[in-house]
């Protein structure tokens, strides 16, 4: 926290030792308007933060504590939940009862229908009993570029998944204006290994992931329905799309290529670039590249920016949109802080990196 601010907002980070939590801590550490007042964890409880993560030391070297909603409510104004799917819903109702405002990085409140969550996250729903239907309806989907006004007043913000962020930012303006057909949309995404989380997994081992690109969950990836929900809401039509993720041998970053058919095949790439520039003209976190220049994931590493480029295949009237984000920043922790800034009534970009370190 910047010492010039004498009245910082106090933030609890629950799930502090995962990749998402570590990025959150890094961004909050030097934030001029927030201070970290509680670190919560399960497996890491009773350990000092600086022992666990000496590469991001905190001045007071706090102890990671078991989650205690009463203690959190006594010492915090906001809570960021960076927990496995299903666990956030076990804490959120009590935290809200104690007048805390929440940004949740899990999928627990991204769906407006709890029944839909139970269907998509069926394995979690077998072990975790939920009846918080009203909270699912109350939560605001946390893409600030679309929902800033609602996020600023929200008690609970459901921060989107990294893949949905990379897909929704380029597609949303075209569907909102009815410029593309609602059927036949295809999203092809490439992600680094950090998207799989910090817990050990065989397919993320160096010997498995290095020097190889592989697809996974070619049909039925969980993020498919999340993307469909948001695009259906803006277009007013139930949308079914094709989403295929791929694992690439890099640590961080997502590159998504989206294909959609233009309703007016006479539109050019320059026309479509103007659509995006107009929609995002007031946003510092989305940059539209010149036609013919396509984003690289390295260009957005360690930043809360999205780079978008567009092309049109005049032979078939197909729109091709490319977007690049850092999955751990704009796709996760940075976007959560962006929402937190809005909830605190300050500029959404304060404390967020917008320029990469290159190369």
- Over residues 46-103, the pLDDT tens digits come to 999 999 999 999 999 999 999 999 999 999 999 999 999 999 999 999 999 999 999 9
Cα–Cα distance measured from residue 237 to residue 232, given in angstroms and rounded to the nearest whole number: 5
Whether residue 183 is predicted with pLDDT greater than 60 in this model: the reply is yes
| Domains observed in the chain | 9-138 (3.40.50.720), 162-327 (3.30.360.10)
pLDDT in tens, 120-157: 999 999 999 999 999 999 999 999 999 999 999 999 99
What pLDDT does residue 192 have? 94
Residues 213, 247: contact at Cβ < 8 Å? Answer: yes
What tokens does 206 get?
């160096």
Cα–Cα distance measured from residue 252 to residue 297, given in angstroms and rounded to the nearest whole number: 8
3-state secondary structure 17-53: CCHHHHHHHHHHHCCCCEEEEEEECCCCCCCEHHHHC
- Choose, from 53, 162, 272, 349, the residue flagged as catalytic: 162
Is 162 tagged catalytic?
yes
Instruction: Work out the burial of residue 9: count CB atoms within 10 Å of its CB; fewer than 13 is exposed, 13-18 middle, 19 or more buried.
Output: buried
Measured CA angle at 96 (ends 92, 100), to 5 deg: 110
Nearest to 335 by CA among 17, 14, 20: 20
Residues 330, 285: contact at Cβ < 8 Å? Answer: yes
Instruction: Work out the burial of residue 57: count CB atoms within 10 Å of its CB; fewer than 13 is exposed, 13-18 middle, 19 or more buried.
Output: exposed
Angle, helices 334-343/19-29, rounded to nearest 10 degrees? 50
Q: How confident is the model at residue 2 (pLDDT cuts 50, 70, 90)?
A: low
What pLDDT does residue 43 have? 87
pLDDT in tens, 209-251: 999 999 998 999 999 999 999 999 999 999 999 999 999 999 9
Residues listed for the chain: 359
Is this structure's pTM higher than 0.85?
A: yes
Percentage of the chain beyond pLDDT 70 is 98
pLDDT in tens, 289-334: 999 999 999 999 999 999 999 999 999 999 999 999 999 999 999 9
Q: Which sign, positive or negative, has the C-alpha torsion 70, 347, 230, 20?
A: negative
């Amino acid at each position: 926290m910047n010492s010039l601010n004498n009245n910082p907002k106090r933030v609890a980070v629950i799930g502090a030792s995962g990749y998402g939590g570590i990025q959150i801590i890094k961004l909050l550490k030097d934030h001029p308007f927030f201070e970290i007042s509680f670190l919560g964890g399960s497996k890491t409880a009773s350990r000092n933060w600086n022992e666990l993560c000496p590469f991001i030391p905190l001045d007071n070297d706090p102890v990671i504590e078991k989650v205690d909603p009463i203690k959190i409510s006594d010492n915090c104004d906001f809570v960021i939940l960076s927990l496995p799917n299903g666990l956030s819903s076990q804490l959120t109702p009590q935290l809200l009862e104690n007048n805390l405002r929440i940004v949740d990085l899990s999928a627990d409140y991204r769906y407006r229908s709890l029944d839909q969550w139970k269907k998509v996250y069926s394995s979690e729903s077998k072990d975790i009993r939920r009846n918080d239907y009203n909270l699912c309806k109350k939560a605001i989907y946390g893409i600030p570029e679309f929902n800033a006004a609602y996020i600023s007043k929200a008690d609970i913000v459901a921060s989107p998944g990294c893949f949905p962020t990379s897909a929704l930012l380029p597609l949303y303006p075209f569907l909102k204006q009815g410029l593309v057909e609602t059927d036949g949309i295809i999203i092809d995404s490439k992600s680094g290994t950090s998207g799989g989380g910090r817990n050990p997994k065989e397919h993320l081992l160096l010997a498995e992931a290095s020097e190889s690109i592989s697809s996974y969950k070619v049909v039925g990836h969980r993020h498919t329905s999340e993307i469909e929900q948001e695009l259906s809401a803006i277009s007013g039509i139930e949308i079914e799309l094709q989403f295929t993720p791929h694992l690439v041998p890099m640590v961080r970053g997502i590159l998504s290529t989206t294909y959609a058919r233009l309703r007016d095949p006479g539109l050019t790439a320059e026309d479509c670039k103007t659509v995006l520039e107009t929609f995002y003209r007031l946003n510092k976190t989305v940059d539209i590249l010149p036609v013919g220049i396509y984003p690289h994931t390295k260009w957005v590493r360690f930043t809360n920016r999205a780079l978008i480029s567009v092309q049109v295949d005049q032979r078939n009237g197909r729109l091709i949109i490319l977007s690049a984000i850092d999955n751990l920043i704009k796709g996760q922790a940075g976007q959560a802080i962006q929402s937190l800034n809005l909830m605190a009534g300050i500029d959404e970009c304060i404390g967020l990196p917008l320029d990469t370190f290159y190369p």
